Amino acid sequence: MQMTGAQIIIECLIEQGVDTVFGFPGGAVLPLYDALYQNQNRIRHILTSHEQGASHAADGYARSTGKVGVCIATSGPGATNLVTGIATAYMDSVPIVAFTGNVAVPLLGKDSFQEVDITGITMPITKHNFIVKDVGDLAETVRTAFKIAQEGRPGPVLIDVPKDVTVYTADFSPQSPEVLKPRTERLSEKSMEQALQLIKHAQRPMCYIGGGVIRAKASDELSQFLENIDSPACTSLMGVGAVSSLSPRFTGLVGMHGTKVSNMSVSACDLLVVIGARFSDRVVSKASAFAKNAKIIHIDVDPAEIDKNIKTYCHVIGDLKVVLTELNHRIAKPMEHTEWMEQVAEYKKRYPIRVDSESARSKEILKALQSVLPEGFFAVTEVGQHQMWAAQFLKHLQPGHFLTSGGLGTMGYGTGAAIGAQVAHPDARVVNIAGDGSFRMNCNELATIARYKLPVIILLMNNQTLGMVRQWQTLFFDRRYSETNLDTPIDWMKLAEAYGVKGMRISKTDDPKPILRAALDLGQAVVIDCEIPVDDKVYPMVAPGASIDEMLGVEEVGE
């Protein structure tokens, strides 16, 4: 049947199972928005306050569901406003498809009004991007984009559609979405056997887990694998939730703000099994000293990550769920490393996370938050000290319930991502743990929260400074606090209320628990201005260029 390009896009989205899109209209996408209006009973559109908010919302929707998130922006500045969100998704392997409008095909390349080469701009930060100049190619392009976004290592794909392409007509035939198979074409018997032999002969195995386990929905297989090889496990920031925080095998984060237990265990192990992680510089720090006593096995779906940052002894390339299932199948009898596990348990007793600050306020607040939140909550963060505290002090029991910008470190990510998670899970509690520096960047999305009556809780850890930058200035720049003070007198309660959102405050002397409980009991959006001391710090910490076992802010119990 004949359809316009705009109608074809809508039909393809519905065909792919998309129920919600996030965006902001403009001239170059008016035909698409007209088609959305005519199909509002079939697909929901969430109007954000800014295109960056739309990209982060699509990201939060995708991370919290495992489905593809979709966002839409017009040409020129609308398209460029998506760039930060696309780069965030790219660094953290999040499947989103971004649609941008552009000027009509005859006007391309002529510096037309609101024209920008968005495919050129986003080439380094997408798995693939397209510009569709023929309406007859549109349906196949959309279907291909969804496949690329999801298969193998997930990531963002951009489709740029000139305005005239959305108006022209073409034949459209509906299709069922392609069923994607796990990527195993590079999985070899030789690599599996080599990995098994290393595992069988190890006396002190350690597993370092990344976000790839969550993306592959392989947490159950990982749990069985840890039992089979009798190994402790640490995670990157992106891997938080892949192993339950309550598991006796879990040692916490690894790397710059990792636990002393994790960092010592990585340094002491004789075999490090790295699963779905990329050896980020924030984990590795001094590369020549990383896991210096261990042979390293790297298991990942993306061959480009093998030996990119750290040279490994053995690698297994393939879908993590498939690889872990096969490894579990081949381990006939669970192994025992009693002495090693006892040593790790002793590390845990000796090196609890130290809270070295004017007070233990950040820990106290987050523990109180945990105590009042229902099961299945989603914790979203901005970027900074509060992000690390949320990773350290909250108990993360389920994969995909901790949403944070790890690779790009995007301040302003959390509010949009919380919107996406809340829209995807209307009955769940979603809390955005924010810093005042990050929140001020995209606090305009309070308008979106209010418009759609989303019961998002924003816990604003307000120290009136760029806390993480100030921490570095304190430790490494002789307390020269250049442009990090945020002591402008902003009344966050009044700001929230101006948007129609409830505002509350927790002072430095308040018991946080009853206030947090009251906020949750309201069942609506609340901004909680939570005062914390200006010099609360995130510890432990590895100084730049140091080995990960050389940590600042660590004390042994009894010292």
Active site residues: 51, 113-114, 163, 468
Q: Are strands 128-131 and 205-209 parallel, antiparallel or unpaired?
A: unpaired
DSSP 448-500: HHHHTT---EEEEEE-SB-HHHHHHHHHHSTT--TT-B--S---HHHHHHHTT
d(CA 546, CA 417): 33
User: Cis bond leading into 540, ω under 30°?
Assistant: yes
Distance of CA 259 to the CA centre of its chain: 20
10-48 burial, b at 16+ Cβ within 10 Å, e below that, comes to bbbbebbebebbbbbbbebbbbbbbbbeebeeebebbeb
Residue in the block written with tokens 């073409």: 170
The dihedral through the CA atoms of 409, 412, 415, 416 has a sign that is negative
Return the DSSP state at 29: G
CA dihedral 233, 239, 241, 242 (to 10 degrees): -60
Looking at the DSSP bridge assignments, the partners of residue 233 are: 207, 250
d(CA 228, CA 49): 49
Per-residue 3-state assignment (H helix, E strand, C coil) for 339-378: HHHHHHHHHHHHCCCCCCCCCCHHHHHHHHHHHHCCCCCE
Phi, psi angle pair for 379, to nearest 5°: -100, 120
d(CA 98, CA 55): 8
d(CA 33, CA 159): 16
- Strand ranges (DSSP E) for 260-334? 271-275, 295-300, 314-317
Closest CA to 414 of 390, 450, 396, 392: 390
Q: Token pair for residue 306? A: 């093998």
Three-class secondary structure of residue 544 per DSSP: coil
